[in-house]
Structure 1
Amino acid sequence: MRLSEEDRTLLINRVNIIFHVAASVRFDDPLTFASKMNLQGTKEIVDLTKEVANLSVLVHVSTSYSNTNRDPIEEVMYPPHAEWRDTLKVCESIDEHTLRVLTPKYLGELPNTYTFTKQLAEHVVYEYKGKLPAVIIRPSIVISSVAEPMPGWIENFNGPTGILVACGKGIMRSIYSDADLKPDYMPVDIAIKNIIAAAWARGTKPLSPSDDIEIYNCCAGNLNTLSVGELVQIGMSLAPKYPLNDMLWNAGGSITTSKNLHYVKCIGGRNRWRRRNCMNISCINLAIIRLVKVQRRIYIANLALRYYVTKQWTFANSNFVLLRSSIKEKDKEQFYYEVENVDKYQFFVKCVIGGRRYLLKEKDEDLPKARAHYKRMLILDYIVKCVFYGYIAWCL
């Protein structure tokens, strides 16, 4: 769907600030689709921007993971992994089947089409340094809000909130990662404040032909770190206080770096749900089908994330930190941001409550009922373990 001529004319004459945030964030998109959304889409935004009569700034939102073949990842423009114009031509000229076969070779060191096309999209913008007043923002894993629009607000299952919800429901029994790994998380409201501040910093100064395009790694970096092990521990400590409604099994989830053990645990979790639902013969078929589908989706999602949850990167964020010091005193209440003073435990308390409210649409007044169900699941889990290990001992 394209802009009508009337809408395009309106934007060209009335708009001063452009935030380019739209993208396909799926890791398994075919190269043709990912290029159309992330690469061609950026080109069309830049083409529109060049026509804007009184442009103050173009803010292009990329991702911190656009250069995962490097470590550390600094706030600089790295060489492209391909020529973006050639990539668009390849996607237009080669049939879908052939392109699927060639895609792994074409991506080179990058893990998927999302990372690849986002990396090239940065170069679409960067070609206009000194010609367009632009900045590039690279957020890391965007998660629940600290305060705005309300504490713990979130609208998707990406990142640690999805893990907490899946473990809290008793669906996810295994996490394929390293307990010492420290992923980089960025609360959504802090990311947005950084985006607005970067737009202000670029938009309030005149454009010079010698100007570079400022790049901001919107990351926590070393300011505030959280390991996968700490995340799981926090989640387990919050489960009795803020249990989710209608848990399918006792809240849990252990970390393993073994692919085989992870697979066995996933299968074991599926069998455990089957045993539980055998207690209610009337709904066994429907329950098993539903749970197997959910478990399959989680397993496939973990496969897609495997590259990111088994590797460690160091993100430099000096531009991100320096920018906040330039915010005027009168604007600090609304736009000043900091990551280092966010209390991790209290933050994830808000994340869990926010996940219940905004993702699962569960009501706070249902908490007493959910806690009672949680206790029943604890007892059931204990009984099943006793029976299972007792049977093993008897057999031996």
Structure 2
Amino acid sequence: MKQRWLRRVVDAVFAGALAAVAVVEIWVPLDSAFGSGSPTLSTVVAVILCLALAVRRSWPLATALVVLLTWPIVFSIQPILLLFWGQLVPMAVATYSVARYGSWRAGLIGAGAGAACLLFFDTQVMEMQEPGEIFFHWMVLILAWTIGQVVRKAERRAAESHRRATEIEVQARTVTLTAIAEERARIARELHDIVAHSVSMMVVQAGAAEQVADDDPEYTRRALATIRTTGADALAEMRRLVSMLREQDGAGELHPQPGIDGLSALVEDARSGGLTVGLRVEGEPRMLPTGLDLAAYRIVQEALTNVRRHAAAERADVLVRFADESLHLEVRDDGVGAATATATASAGGHGLIGMRERAALYGGRLETISGSGSGFLVRAVLPLEPAAS
């Protein structure tokens, strides 16, 4: 809005300044004013033509018609002076403006009006019939119209490119947000299974403890301890579950989810597909919360899936390292490197997004390191409770 107001002010100032120059051209007079006619009438017409340029952006066709046709109409009734600043310059500006700011149809109409104006002078005004004069004023208007058309097309191409870039950016963001929403829904369903399984275990343990509470107090205490641990884990998972925004859907069949212990089978499955896979575990393995255990498994699973689908690799190495306060996961391959992530995105996969979401859910982080043709590394760090001394 501010720019539009500023353009209007600039056009008004330009029109006023040109009108002032035209008045000076008539009354001084300058060498650019020639012919015979009433200076007063010439001044009125020149001022009308110049001031019409103040609205050349808002009404380009109307401005062009006023500027290009007023002078021939008045001249056919009563001869007036021929001016450079008060006549030819406004005509050139109006022709340029209708070609740039008007529609294609308006531009053609403006070109026709300009041609009619020049033909009138070429046939009716003796002073304008010299070959050099004809060439000059025709070239001025043709160049003005051509430049206006070129600028108009360039601006439209730029606007179209900007629109397309915006659409691509919006589409890419929509795809990413959709992928995140789908992955969170998937994680939520899995956490639902974990919580439901944990609650089922608590019910079974509580029932068993109730049956032997009097006969076997030691078993009852162990059962209660198990219930307490399982309940704490289930509560932690439930908190994560309700913190995620997702659409409600069916929970599906309840069953225990895989964890770190299932990595050996996962590696064997990858080997059966022709990929050489090595698995190394460092540190002292320990029991992990069920949800974290599942997240670690899924991260390695997705990383190996990406290797098989996109990396064109012959070998992948999986490292699981138990530190005092964190679990480190690394999957490294000897494939095409930087092309892996690009191929994953172009194939419609959301693996990297899913892995990052899982790591972030447990307060961890995931990073990818890619070399040009020298392999691809997925590294995740998941926080753990400090190991018991």
TM range (shorter): under 0.3
- Normalising by structure 1, we get a TM-score of 0.18
Structure ranking higher on relative contact order (CA contacts 8 Å, 6+ apart):
1
* Structure number with higher helix proportion: 2
**TM-score scaled by structure 2?**
0.19
* Rg (Cα) greater in structure: 2
